[in-house]
Amino acid sequence: MFLSCFLWPDMTRFFVLAALLSLICPPCVPAFEIEPFNTYNQSPVIRIFGLPGAGSPRVVKAGKTELEFSAVLASNYILDENHRESLLIDGETHSFALGVRRGLGQDTEAGIDIPYVSQTGGFLDGVIDTWHHTFGFREGGRNLAPKNRLLYRYVRDGGERLKLDSCSGGIGDVRLQGARQLYRGGNGSAALRASLKLPTGDSGSLIGSGSTDLAVWVTADRPFDSRYGRWSIYGAGGGMAMKGGSVLAEQQRNTAVFGTLGGGWKPGERLVLKIQADAHTPFYRDSELKELESPGIQLVLGGTVALTRETTLDIAVSEDILVKSSPDVVFNFILKTRF
């Protein structure tokens, strides 16, 4: 864990550089669909649960395998308090994940996601401060806090309920995935999806939640063509049930509802521009702090670049629409290939 404090920023920079360099690949003529960003709330006290990304409206074809490698960099700064509670979330969460999906036939799919998660002081504070200053965005006290600090702390009624102030890293909560194609045609697709998150990560370091979570949802899209290219609107919605976890266990809710709504434009063969909103109901109760008690809504902006006929790269940035309910800025890189 000590080494991850020093090595993880370098690994992240390497992945970002590799992703950008891959954009100069030779021309190709890919046949890829407009699909949702596979994103969700990266708040340190939310991402530990089994909240899923929307996933694809289309299951992997029988006999085919899909590999997905993602890198997510989330910069957190929240300071809030009232007469009973005090919450400080200052740090970065870096997550790499390897996902494997296999088409099983009869319009079904099975898979697994294995994440590596690091909680660290990070290296993005200076960059984000400059960004906020240049464009006049709110600072929220971030510019006054120590740079690249890691401190997550929650106090309630004079008692410390949560504290993390040392860098940590390890295998997070593994997810088992499954899907069934409900419909697939020229005017759209729909898939029923489910995931089971297992408590394999260390909840004491906020690498996992300590709970077993089951999520079930439907993802669908509706594409249409125009003289300006191909367009698509898409959405997802479902619910999840969670066993009692180890993080703020007395305040944890056992159910949540989530959804995604977005759209994309494909002006050519290799590029898709997308915008979407991810939302969910609260994961905690008995709190007057927005970070714990309120729903979360994030706006995700970015696009998909086709690298080869079967390989795509998603690059996206998400912001907290509902302030304090999710990280200030999250950078998402998702490399996907099928064979």
Contact yes or no for 51/280 (Cβ under 8 A): yes
pTM, two decimals, is: 0.85
**pLDDT higher than 80, residue 22:** no
Structure confidence by residue, pLDDT tens digits, 28-40: 445 678 999 999 9
What average pLDDT does this structure show over 295-308?
Answer: 94
Write the DSSP symbol of residue 22. Answer: G
The structural domains of the chain, ordered by start, are 2-338 (2.40.160.40)
Residue 302 to residue 64: CA distance in whole angstroms? 27
Q: What is the pLDDT of residues 105-131, one digit of tens each?
A: 889 999 999 999 999 887 766 666 665
Q: 209-222: per-residue pLDDT in tens?
A: 999 999 999 999 99
pLDDT value, residue 321: 82
pLDDT at 14: 46
Give residue 57's pLDDT.
Answer: 97
- Distance of alpha carbon 99 from alpha carbon 327, whole angstroms: 24
Q: Which residue intervals of 102-228 are DSSP H helices?
A: 125-135
Beta strands in the chain (DSSP E): 65-81, 85-105, 108-120, 151-156, 159-164, 168-171, 175-185, 188-197, 213-226, 229-242, 255-266, 271-280, 296-306, 311-320, 329-338
Side-chain half-sphere exposure of 227, counting CA atoms within 13 A:
0
